[in-house]
Amino acid sequence: MTTLSAADGLILLLYFFFVGGVGFALNSFIKTGDDFLLAGRAMPAWIGGLALVGVGLGGQEILAMGALGAHYGFEGAQWFGIGAIPAMVFAGLYMMPVYYTSKARTVPEYLRLRFDAKTRVIYALVFAAMTIVGAGVALYVMARAAVALDVFDALFYARHWPISAILPAAMVLPALLVLAIVWFGGLTGTLYSQVMQFLVILAGILPAVYIGLRNAGGWSGLSEAIPSSMHEWRAMSMAGSGPMGLGAVGLCLGLGVALAGSLWCVDFRALQTAFSQKNAEAAQRVPLIAAFFMAFLPFVVVLPGLLAVSLPTPHNTTIVTLENGSIVRNTEVVSPAAAAGKGIVPAKANPENGQPVRDASGKVLLDYRAATPNLLAHFLPQGLLGLGLAALLAGLMSGMAAAISAFNSVFVRDLYQPLLGKEKDEAHYLQVARWTTLSAVAATLGVAFAAMYFHNLLGTMAIGFASLNAPVLATFLLGMFWRRTSGHGAFAGIVAGMAIAIAHYGLTIPTGAHPGMHGGWIAVLHVYPGTIAQAAWTALFGLVANLIVTSAVSLCTAPRASEELAGLVYSLLPERQSVQKAWWKRPEAVAIAALLVAVAVNIFFA
């Protein structure tokens, strides 16, 4: 059982106090709907950039990136760079100027301004559903991590509360804190809490990484300690025969373009930080600042998984000592799942008998999601463990707060407001937004409780994102950079892209999975080595289908006049006034710096 000291408990209480207090402190500044939903469009760029990094460090991302490092080794850090930095730089340099100049308040609203209402509604509905489901799954996964670390066990045992209530409590408590942040502080409270939580994540995880590296004998010791199979996967992966099964095309286009682009260039959960800026230049800087910091994050989120899998695997041990003339035998017993694991990454345990779960070939299936939490519990001493647990909670709450804030904006501006048929004053939309917050948190909790009855939800969510969100990237790219794109073409492309992606999902399955939630529910025409490969190719198929259908239908339908597209297409943006600035203050310089740092980090991990 993980034992928390008084100092650990104090750290957690202080964390809850300051995070919960952010919303209360900002409540007096929230007067209108735009104050609540867009932070009054007065946020500094550096706040937005750090908040965007916090969005990328959500609870499920921390667990998933740690699992990636534990499963695939140093290669995981390089995939992290490919899956984030280029897309963020492209969004900052080319897409944010269009978003901001169009005066759209949400990403779906840009679709209405550029195309028509039906294109806006279909994406708004899909986005709203994905956001709530994703936030609920993240809440459940992080609550499971807290339960696995026995965080609340001592409290429940001392109060004689039922142990079965630990998991629900671990989901309800963070949800209530997120409700307080967003209800009282709106997007402003969300952004400031994300910056604070980003700093907490660094403070909580980096000490464990430092201690782990020192115990491993430094970088060279870690390289020698990780399983030899990881060193053989690099060339195999690029050839498409490794455990990822992506190949160069799947890695660059599937992961680097389709999946990464749909997240950092289209997903409003991330982009709302840039939409809240005071001008177009500040909005452009937000993804670029975030990209610079994101380049260093493999050391925070991927390296813990590498360290966890490189440690000695625990086994039952007996130590014999002589005390006062008597022979004393002390036996340390570990669970069968821990003994069958790799390092401190345990095997997946059968809930009925506690024995390791095996696939059809008899190979033990490891619970890679436990890599980062177990590393924190293994290396952080009492007094610092509370900080590590606060880091995990910070990741969860950062991502969930971003999801709730984005859902609020899309629901109020893209679904509720158009249904009214007439404009209401901003005080009305403020009240609607607050009650939408309560409803969204309740729905998120409902999804989290429903998730208790399903398995491998992170992989399923990746496939869902690839099927529904990734194909829409083509609509935005064509709409921003091709004047000929029509509203009918955009709508048909979204429908076709999602349909092809879902069909690909239903016709393929990852190795070791059974037809159902993991795919193959139509027929099994292809088996991928893993969920990541299936998700990347699903996203790529949907993206290409959208490109083809949108282009074909647009060529057969009438486009809008060029004068109607001013500020909505990149080539028709108004010219900016030339302002003399130091070279290092220009967006292009920040973009180049972020790319150079990303390349340097990739070379380092290579």
570-579 confidence digits (pLDDT tens): 999 887 655 5
Q: Is the pLDDT of residue 582 over 70?
A: no
pLDDT value of position 239: 47
Which tens digits make up the pLDDT trace of 37-79? 888 888 888 888 888 888 877 767 788 888 888 887 777 777 7
pTM comes to 0.87
* Alpha helices (H) in 335-471, listed in sequence order: 336-339, 371-379, 385-409, 417-420, 426-450, 457-468
Nearest to 482 by CA among 45, 78, 115: 115
Mean pLDDT of 545-569: 93
pLDDT-based confidence at 246, cuts 50/70/90? low
pLDDT at 329 over 80: no
CATH code assigned to 6-311+374-453+590-605? 1.20.1730.10
Average pLDDT taken over every residue of the chain: 83
Tell me the three state secondary structure of residue 36.
Answer: helix
- Place 416 in a pLDDT band, splitting at 50, 70 and 90: very high
Distance CA 308, CA 23 (A): 36
pLDDT of 410 reads 94
Confidence of residue 503 (pLDDT cuts 50, 70, 90): very high
Helix (H, G, I), strand (E, B) or coil at 527: strand
pLDDT of residue 528: 86
Average pLDDT over residues 368-377: 85
For residue 142, give the nearest of 341, 300, 376, 340 by alpha carbon. 376
Euclidean distance between CA atoms 270 and 287, whole angstroms = 9
Q: Outline where DSSP puts E strands in 193-352.
A: 317-323, 326-332
Q: What is the pLDDT of residue 401?
A: 87
What is the 3-state secondary structure of 136-199?
A: HHHHHHHHHHHHHCCCCHHHHHHHCCCHHHHHHHHHHHHHHHHHHHHHHHHHHHHHHHHHHHHH
Residue 18 predicted with pLDDT over 60:
yes
Lowest mean pLDDT among 320-334, 365-379, 433-447: 320-334
- Taking residue 306's Cβ as centre, other Cβ atoms within 10 Å add up to 31
Tokens describing residue 464: 């869902």
Any idea which residue has 């989120």 for tokens? 301
Instruction: Name the DSSP class of 208.
Output: H
Are residues 504 and 538 in contact, defined by beta-carbon separation less than 8 angstroms?
Answer: yes
Q: Domain coordinates of the chain in residue numbers?
A: 6-311+374-453+590-605, 317-368, 456-574
CB atoms under 10 Å from CB of 439, counted, come to 14
Mean pLDDT of the region 93-119: 93
